[in-house]
Structure 1
Amino acid sequence: MNKEQFLRDLDDALKPLSAEEREDIRRDYDEHFVLGKEEGKTEAEIAEALGSPRKIGKEILAVYQVEKAQSKASTGNILRAVWAGIGLGFLNLILVLGPFIALVAVLASGWIAAGSFVLSPLLVLVNAILYPGTFEWFDLFVSVATAGFGLLLGIFMYFLSKGLVWMFVRYLKWNVNLVRGG
Protein backbone atom coordinates (compact mmCIF):
# COMPACT_ATOMS: atom_id res chain seq x y z
CA MET A 1 0.00 0.00 0.00
CA ASN A 2 1.39 3.39 -0.92
CA LYS A 3 1.09 6.68 0.97
CA GLU A 4 -1.86 8.06 -1.00
CA GLN A 5 -3.88 4.83 -0.67
CA PHE A 6 -3.15 4.71 3.07
CA LEU A 7 -4.19 8.34 3.59
CA ARG A 8 -7.29 7.91 1.40
CA ASP A 9 -8.39 4.82 3.39
CA LEU A 10 -7.73 6.64 6.66
CA ASP A 11 -9.74 9.63 5.46
CA ASP A 12 -12.64 7.32 4.50
CA ALA A 13 -12.56 5.72 7.95
CA LEU A 14 -12.71 9.17 9.59
CA LYS A 15 -15.78 10.47 7.69
CA PRO A 16 -17.76 11.26 10.89
CA LEU A 17 -15.12 13.81 11.91
CA SER A 18 -15.07 17.35 10.60
CA ALA A 19 -12.93 18.15 7.55
CA GLU A 20 -10.57 20.20 9.73
CA GLU A 21 -10.00 17.33 12.16
CA ARG A 22 -9.50 14.85 9.31
CA GLU A 23 -6.96 17.16 7.69
CA ASP A 24 -5.07 17.51 10.98
CA ILE A 25 -4.89 13.72 11.37
CA ARG A 26 -3.91 13.38 7.71
CA ARG A 27 -1.00 15.81 8.26
CA ASP A 28 0.16 13.76 11.28
CA TYR A 29 0.23 10.54 9.26
CA ASP A 30 1.77 12.33 6.28
CA GLU A 31 4.58 13.30 8.63
CA HIS A 32 5.06 9.61 9.54
CA PHE A 33 5.69 8.93 5.86
CA VAL A 34 8.15 11.84 5.54
CA LEU A 35 10.11 10.68 8.59
CA GLY A 36 10.07 7.08 7.36
CA LYS A 37 11.44 8.10 3.96
CA GLU A 38 14.22 10.02 5.69
CA GLU A 39 15.13 6.74 7.43
CA GLY A 40 15.29 5.02 4.03
CA LYS A 41 12.02 3.07 4.23
CA THR A 42 9.64 2.59 1.34
CA GLU A 43 6.04 3.78 1.46
CA ALA A 44 4.83 0.18 1.67
CA GLU A 45 7.09 -0.51 4.67
CA ILE A 46 5.90 2.63 6.43
CA ALA A 47 2.25 1.80 5.76
CA GLU A 48 2.76 -1.74 7.06
CA ALA A 49 4.48 -0.44 10.20
CA LEU A 50 1.61 1.99 10.87
CA GLY A 51 -1.01 -0.73 10.55
CA SER A 52 -4.44 -0.85 8.98
CA PRO A 53 -5.88 2.59 8.24
CA ARG A 54 -9.38 1.26 8.94
CA LYS A 55 -8.32 0.05 12.39
CA ILE A 56 -6.54 3.33 13.08
CA GLY A 57 -9.71 5.17 12.03
CA LYS A 58 -11.87 3.06 14.34
CA GLU A 59 -9.52 3.75 17.26
CA ILE A 60 -9.46 7.49 16.59
CA LEU A 61 -13.26 7.58 16.26
CA ALA A 62 -13.67 5.60 19.49
CA VAL A 63 -11.43 8.02 21.39
CA TYR A 64 -13.27 10.97 19.82
CA GLN A 65 -16.72 9.61 20.74
CA VAL A 66 -15.69 8.76 24.31
CA GLU A 67 -14.20 12.22 24.83
CA LYS A 68 -17.36 13.76 23.37
CA ALA A 69 -19.50 11.68 25.76
CA GLN A 70 -17.25 12.68 28.64
CA SER A 71 -17.56 16.39 27.87
CA LYS A 72 -21.33 16.25 27.24
CA ALA A 73 -23.00 13.11 28.58
CA SER A 74 -26.14 13.05 26.43
CA THR A 75 -27.91 9.85 25.49
CA GLY A 76 -26.85 10.17 21.85
CA ASN A 77 -23.21 10.80 22.71
CA ILE A 78 -23.12 7.82 25.07
CA LEU A 79 -24.75 5.53 22.50
CA ARG A 80 -22.27 6.64 19.83
CA ALA A 81 -19.38 6.05 22.27
CA VAL A 82 -20.72 2.56 23.10
CA TRP A 83 -21.07 1.76 19.40
CA ALA A 84 -17.54 3.03 18.67
CA GLY A 85 -16.20 0.95 21.57
CA ILE A 86 -17.95 -2.17 20.28
CA GLY A 87 -16.52 -1.50 16.83
CA LEU A 88 -12.98 -1.92 18.11
CA GLY A 89 -13.28 -5.68 18.36
CA PHE A 90 -15.52 -8.68 18.92
CA LEU A 91 -14.47 -9.03 22.56
CA ASN A 92 -15.70 -5.50 23.15
CA LEU A 93 -19.17 -6.68 22.19
CA ILE A 94 -19.19 -8.47 25.54
CA LEU A 95 -17.01 -6.04 27.51
CA VAL A 96 -18.95 -2.93 26.49
CA LEU A 97 -22.44 -4.06 25.58
CA GLY A 98 -22.93 -6.25 28.68
CA PRO A 99 -22.22 -3.51 31.24
CA PHE A 100 -24.18 -1.00 29.12
CA ILE A 101 -27.30 -3.20 29.12
CA ALA A 102 -26.94 -3.76 32.89
CA LEU A 103 -26.57 -0.01 33.46
CA VAL A 104 -29.65 0.77 31.38
CA ALA A 105 -31.66 -1.91 33.19
CA VAL A 106 -30.71 -0.60 36.65
CA LEU A 107 -31.45 3.00 35.73
CA ALA A 108 -34.72 2.18 33.95
CA SER A 109 -36.03 0.05 36.83
CA GLY A 110 -35.13 2.73 39.38
CA TRP A 111 -36.82 5.49 37.38
CA ILE A 112 -39.90 3.35 36.72
CA ALA A 113 -40.19 2.53 40.43
CA ALA A 114 -39.83 6.20 41.39
CA GLY A 115 -42.44 7.23 38.82
CA SER A 116 -44.94 4.59 39.89
CA PHE A 117 -44.55 5.53 43.56
CA VAL A 118 -45.13 9.19 42.74
CA LEU A 119 -48.26 8.33 40.76
CA SER A 120 -49.71 6.02 43.45
CA PRO A 121 -52.22 8.62 44.83
CA LEU A 122 -53.82 8.67 41.38
CA LEU A 123 -54.57 4.98 41.72
CA VAL A 124 -56.42 5.60 44.99
CA LEU A 125 -58.43 8.38 43.34
CA VAL A 126 -59.23 6.20 40.31
CA ASN A 127 -60.29 3.41 42.68
CA ALA A 128 -62.56 5.85 44.58
CA ILE A 129 -64.16 6.99 41.32
CA LEU A 130 -64.71 3.48 39.98
CA TYR A 131 -65.85 1.99 43.31
CA PRO A 132 -67.28 4.88 45.39
CA GLY A 133 -68.08 2.80 48.47
CA THR A 134 -64.52 1.55 48.97
CA PHE A 135 -62.70 4.84 49.64
CA GLU A 136 -60.71 4.86 52.86
CA TRP A 137 -58.56 7.64 54.26
CA PHE A 138 -55.90 5.15 55.23
CA ASP A 139 -55.39 4.16 51.58
CA LEU A 140 -55.01 7.82 50.63
CA PHE A 141 -52.54 8.42 53.49
CA VAL A 142 -50.42 5.41 52.52
CA SER A 143 -50.43 6.42 48.83
CA VAL A 144 -49.35 9.98 49.70
CA ALA A 145 -46.54 8.57 51.88
CA THR A 146 -45.57 6.28 48.99
CA ALA A 147 -45.56 9.31 46.65
CA GLY A 148 -43.20 11.08 49.05
CA PHE A 149 -40.93 8.04 49.04
CA GLY A 150 -41.13 8.10 45.23
CA LEU A 151 -39.97 11.71 45.20
CA LEU A 152 -37.01 10.82 47.42
CA LEU A 153 -36.26 7.84 45.20
CA GLY A 154 -36.43 10.14 42.16
CA ILE A 155 -33.86 12.49 43.71
CA PHE A 156 -31.66 9.50 44.55
CA MET A 157 -32.04 8.17 41.00
CA TYR A 158 -31.04 11.54 39.56
CA PHE A 159 -27.73 11.52 41.40
CA LEU A 160 -27.24 7.79 40.83
CA SER A 161 -27.84 8.29 37.10
CA LYS A 162 -25.27 11.06 36.90
CA GLY A 163 -22.74 9.00 38.84
CA LEU A 164 -23.27 5.79 36.88
CA VAL A 165 -23.10 7.60 33.55
CA TRP A 166 -19.85 9.28 34.64
CA MET A 167 -18.44 5.91 35.74
CA PHE A 168 -19.53 4.18 32.52
CA VAL A 169 -17.94 6.87 30.34
CA ARG A 170 -14.72 6.44 32.35
CA TYR A 171 -15.01 2.67 31.79
CA LEU A 172 -15.42 3.24 28.05
CA LYS A 173 -12.35 5.48 28.03
CA TRP A 174 -10.34 2.86 29.91
CA ASN A 175 -11.57 0.14 27.54
CA VAL A 176 -10.64 2.13 24.43
CA ASN A 177 -7.19 2.87 25.84
CA LEU A 178 -6.74 -0.82 26.70
CA VAL A 179 -7.70 -1.92 23.19
CA ARG A 180 -5.37 0.69 21.68
CA GLY A 181 -2.55 -0.67 23.84
CA GLY A 182 -2.22 2.36 26.12
Structure 2
Amino acid sequence: MTRAEFLSRLKKGLVGLPISTASDIVNDYETHFTDGAAAGRTDAEVAAALGDPDRLARELRAEAGAQRWHQEKNPSAAAGAVFAVLGLGAIDILILLPILMGVIGTLFGVGIAVIALFVSGGAIMVAGPFADMPGGAFASILAGLGLMAAAASAGALLAIVTIWLVNGIVWFARLHYRLLKPALEPQSSNTAVGDPA
Protein backbone atom coordinates (compact mmCIF):
# COMPACT_ATOMS: atom_id res chain seq x y z
CA MET A 1 0.00 0.00 0.00
CA THR A 2 1.34 3.44 -0.87
CA ARG A 3 1.52 6.46 1.43
CA ALA A 4 -1.31 8.18 -0.47
CA GLU A 5 -3.60 5.12 -0.26
CA PHE A 6 -2.93 4.66 3.46
CA LEU A 7 -3.51 8.32 4.31
CA SER A 8 -6.60 8.53 2.10
CA ARG A 9 -8.22 5.54 3.83
CA LEU A 10 -7.22 6.93 7.24
CA LYS A 11 -8.77 10.34 6.41
CA LYS A 12 -11.96 8.68 5.20
CA GLY A 13 -12.19 6.69 8.45
CA LEU A 14 -11.71 9.79 10.60
CA VAL A 15 -14.71 11.63 9.12
CA GLY A 16 -16.82 12.88 12.00
CA LEU A 17 -13.94 13.84 14.27
CA PRO A 18 -13.17 17.55 14.68
CA ILE A 19 -11.19 18.73 11.64
CA SER A 20 -8.20 19.84 13.70
CA THR A 21 -8.02 16.48 15.50
CA ALA A 22 -8.27 14.50 12.26
CA SER A 23 -5.65 16.74 10.64
CA ASP A 24 -3.25 16.25 13.55
CA ILE A 25 -3.70 12.47 13.37
CA VAL A 26 -3.10 12.38 9.61
CA ASN A 27 -0.01 14.59 10.00
CA ASP A 28 1.35 12.22 12.68
CA TYR A 29 0.95 9.24 10.38
CA GLU A 30 2.43 11.16 7.46
CA THR A 31 5.48 11.69 9.69
CA HIS A 32 5.76 7.91 10.09
CA PHE A 33 6.07 7.59 6.31
CA THR A 34 8.61 10.43 6.11
CA ASP A 35 10.73 8.89 8.89
CA GLY A 36 10.45 5.48 7.26
CA ALA A 37 11.63 6.84 3.91
CA ALA A 38 14.56 8.53 5.64
CA ALA A 39 15.45 5.17 7.20
CA GLY A 40 15.33 3.48 3.78
CA ARG A 41 11.99 1.68 4.15
CA THR A 42 9.40 1.60 1.40
CA ASP A 43 5.86 2.94 1.78
CA ALA A 44 4.55 -0.63 1.76
CA GLU A 45 6.82 -1.59 4.69
CA VAL A 46 5.76 1.44 6.73
CA ALA A 47 2.08 0.83 5.94
CA ALA A 48 2.41 -2.82 6.97
CA ALA A 49 4.04 -1.78 10.25
CA LEU A 50 1.24 0.70 10.97
CA GLY A 51 -1.52 -1.81 10.24
CA ASP A 52 -4.89 -1.55 8.56
CA PRO A 53 -5.85 2.14 8.21
CA ASP A 54 -9.58 1.40 8.45
CA ARG A 55 -9.22 -0.41 11.74
CA LEU A 56 -6.77 2.21 12.97
CA ALA A 57 -9.32 4.94 12.19
CA ARG A 58 -12.04 3.07 14.12
CA GLU A 59 -9.71 2.69 17.10
CA LEU A 60 -8.72 6.37 16.97
CA ARG A 61 -12.39 7.40 16.82
CA ALA A 62 -13.18 5.16 19.80
CA GLU A 63 -10.27 6.64 21.74
CA ALA A 64 -11.41 10.18 20.88
CA GLY A 65 -14.91 9.31 22.16
CA ALA A 66 -13.44 7.87 25.36
CA GLN A 67 -11.28 10.94 25.92
CA ARG A 68 -14.25 13.25 25.34
CA TRP A 69 -16.24 11.24 27.92
CA HIS A 70 -13.45 11.52 30.49
CA GLN A 71 -13.24 15.29 29.95
CA GLU A 72 -16.90 16.25 29.73
CA LYS A 73 -19.00 13.61 31.59
CA ASN A 74 -22.28 14.62 29.95
CA PRO A 75 -24.96 12.57 28.14
CA SER A 76 -23.71 13.61 24.70
CA ALA A 77 -20.15 12.52 25.50
CA ALA A 78 -21.45 9.25 27.00
CA ALA A 79 -23.45 8.48 23.86
CA GLY A 80 -20.44 9.36 21.71
CA ALA A 81 -18.21 7.01 23.70
CA VAL A 82 -20.70 4.14 23.55
CA PHE A 83 -21.32 4.52 19.81
CA ALA A 84 -17.59 4.89 19.10
CA VAL A 85 -16.92 1.64 20.95
CA LEU A 86 -19.77 -0.08 19.12
CA GLY A 87 -18.32 1.32 15.89
CA LEU A 88 -15.22 -0.79 16.39
CA GLY A 89 -17.40 -3.52 14.95
CA ALA A 90 -15.70 -6.63 16.20
CA ILE A 91 -16.49 -6.44 19.90
CA ASP A 92 -18.85 -9.36 19.92
CA ILE A 93 -21.72 -7.12 18.87
CA LEU A 94 -24.16 -10.02 18.70
CA ILE A 95 -23.63 -10.61 22.41
CA LEU A 96 -22.84 -7.11 23.70
CA LEU A 97 -25.54 -5.10 21.91
CA PRO A 98 -28.63 -6.96 23.26
CA ILE A 99 -27.21 -6.88 26.80
CA LEU A 100 -26.33 -3.22 26.48
CA MET A 101 -29.77 -2.33 25.08
CA GLY A 102 -31.43 -4.19 27.96
CA VAL A 103 -29.34 -2.35 30.53
CA ILE A 104 -29.91 1.03 28.85
CA GLY A 105 -33.66 0.32 28.67
CA THR A 106 -33.71 -0.53 32.36
CA LEU A 107 -31.79 2.62 33.27
CA PHE A 108 -34.17 4.68 31.13
CA GLY A 109 -37.18 3.09 32.86
CA VAL A 110 -35.71 3.77 36.30
CA GLY A 111 -35.02 7.36 35.22
CA ILE A 112 -38.66 7.84 34.22
CA ALA A 113 -39.78 6.33 37.55
CA VAL A 114 -37.48 8.72 39.44
CA ILE A 115 -38.97 11.70 37.60
CA ALA A 116 -42.51 10.45 38.27
CA LEU A 117 -41.71 9.96 41.98
CA PHE A 118 -40.31 13.48 42.23
CA VAL A 119 -43.35 15.02 40.51
CA SER A 120 -45.79 13.02 42.64
CA GLY A 121 -43.94 14.09 45.80
CA GLY A 122 -44.28 17.71 44.71
CA ALA A 123 -47.98 17.19 43.98
CA ILE A 124 -48.58 15.63 47.41
CA MET A 125 -46.66 18.44 49.12
CA VAL A 126 -48.62 21.17 47.34
CA ALA A 127 -52.10 19.60 47.14
CA GLY A 128 -52.01 17.56 50.35
CA PRO A 129 -52.86 20.37 52.77
CA PHE A 130 -55.98 21.23 50.73
CA ALA A 131 -57.10 17.62 50.17
CA ASP A 132 -57.75 16.80 53.85
CA MET A 133 -55.26 13.90 53.83
CA PRO A 134 -54.78 11.70 56.91
CA GLY A 135 -52.36 13.26 59.39
CA GLY A 136 -53.15 16.79 58.35
CA ALA A 137 -51.36 19.38 56.29
CA PHE A 138 -48.01 18.99 58.04
CA ALA A 139 -47.91 15.22 57.40
CA SER A 140 -48.71 15.67 53.70
CA ILE A 141 -45.96 18.30 53.34
CA LEU A 142 -43.47 15.96 55.02
CA ALA A 143 -44.63 13.02 52.89
CA GLY A 144 -44.20 15.07 49.72
CA LEU A 145 -40.75 16.23 50.79
CA GLY A 146 -39.83 12.64 51.66
CA LEU A 147 -40.86 11.38 48.22
CA MET A 148 -38.94 14.19 46.53
CA ALA A 149 -35.84 13.43 48.62
CA ALA A 150 -36.12 9.72 47.78
CA ALA A 151 -36.39 10.60 44.09
CA ALA A 152 -33.34 12.86 44.30
CA SER A 153 -31.36 10.08 46.02
CA ALA A 154 -32.45 7.52 43.45
CA GLY A 155 -31.55 9.95 40.67
CA ALA A 156 -28.06 10.40 42.13
CA LEU A 157 -27.60 6.62 42.34
CA LEU A 158 -28.85 6.30 38.76
CA ALA A 159 -26.28 8.87 37.61
CA ILE A 160 -23.50 6.94 39.39
CA VAL A 161 -24.58 3.65 37.81
CA THR A 162 -24.76 5.28 34.37
CA ILE A 163 -21.24 6.69 34.76
CA TRP A 164 -20.01 3.23 35.86
CA LEU A 165 -21.67 1.70 32.80
CA VAL A 166 -20.03 4.11 30.36
CA ASN A 167 -16.66 3.72 32.11
CA GLY A 168 -17.09 -0.06 31.94
CA ILE A 169 -17.79 0.05 28.20
CA VAL A 170 -14.72 2.22 27.63
CA TRP A 171 -12.64 -0.13 29.80
CA PHE A 172 -13.95 -3.11 27.85
CA ALA A 173 -12.96 -1.51 24.56
CA ARG A 174 -9.49 -0.65 25.81
CA LEU A 175 -9.02 -4.13 27.23
CA HIS A 176 -10.34 -5.75 24.07
CA TYR A 177 -8.39 -3.67 21.61
CA ARG A 178 -5.48 -2.18 23.53
CA LEU A 179 -6.17 1.19 21.97
CA LEU A 180 -3.54 3.64 20.75
CA LYS A 181 -0.45 3.71 22.97
CA PRO A 182 -0.45 0.08 24.10
CA ALA A 183 -1.08 -1.03 20.52
CA LEU A 184 1.39 1.32 18.84
CA GLU A 185 4.33 1.33 21.28
CA PRO A 186 5.32 -2.31 20.72
CA GLN A 187 5.28 -1.72 16.94
CA SER A 188 7.40 1.43 17.19
CA SER A 189 9.92 -0.32 19.46
CA ASN A 190 10.11 -3.25 17.00
CA THR A 191 10.68 -0.91 14.07
CA ALA A 192 13.25 1.05 16.07
CA VAL A 193 15.18 -2.18 16.63
CA GLY A 194 15.03 -2.83 12.86
CA ASP A 195 16.31 0.68 11.95
CA PRO A 196 20.07 0.01 12.33
CA ALA A 197 19.82 -3.04 10.08
Q: TM-score by structure 2 length?
A: 0.71
* One-letter amino acid of the structure 1 residue matched with residue 79 of structure 2: L
Cα distance change of structure 1 residues 3 and 117 upon mapping to structure 2, 3 Å threshold:
closer
Which SS does the other structure have where 1:8 is aligned? Answer: helix
CA contact 1:11–1:22 (8 Å) conserved in 2: yes
Structure 1, unaligned stretches of length 5 or more?
A: 127-134
Match of 2:194 in 1: none
1:153 and 2:154 aligned:
no
**Aligned Cα root-mean-square deviation (Å):** 3.2
Secondary structure of the structure 1 residue equivalent to 2:150: helix
1:153-173 deviations in Å (ceiling 9; x for gaps): 222123213322332232233
> Does structure 1 conserve the Cα–Cα contact (< 8 Å) formed by 2:68 and 2:77?
yes
Which position in structure 1 is the counterpart of 2:23? 23
**1:178 Cα shift?**
1.7
- 1:23 Cα deviation (Å)? 1.8
1:179 to 158, 169, 176: 176
Match of 2:191 in 1: none
Unaligned residue ranges in structure 2 (runs of 5+): 183-197
Q: 1:106 to 1:145 in 2, by over 3 A?
A: farther
The one-letter code of the counterpart of 1:109 is V
Aligned residues: 175
Please name the residue that 1:132 is paired with.
Answer: none
CA distance in 2, matches of 1:15, 1:37: 27
Structure 2 CA distance, aligned partners of 1:56 and 1:90?
13
Equivalent residue for 1:12? 12
Q: Secondary structure at the match of 1:91?
A: coil
- Cα offset, 1:151, TM superposition: 1.0
Percent of residue pairs bearing the same amino acid type = 23
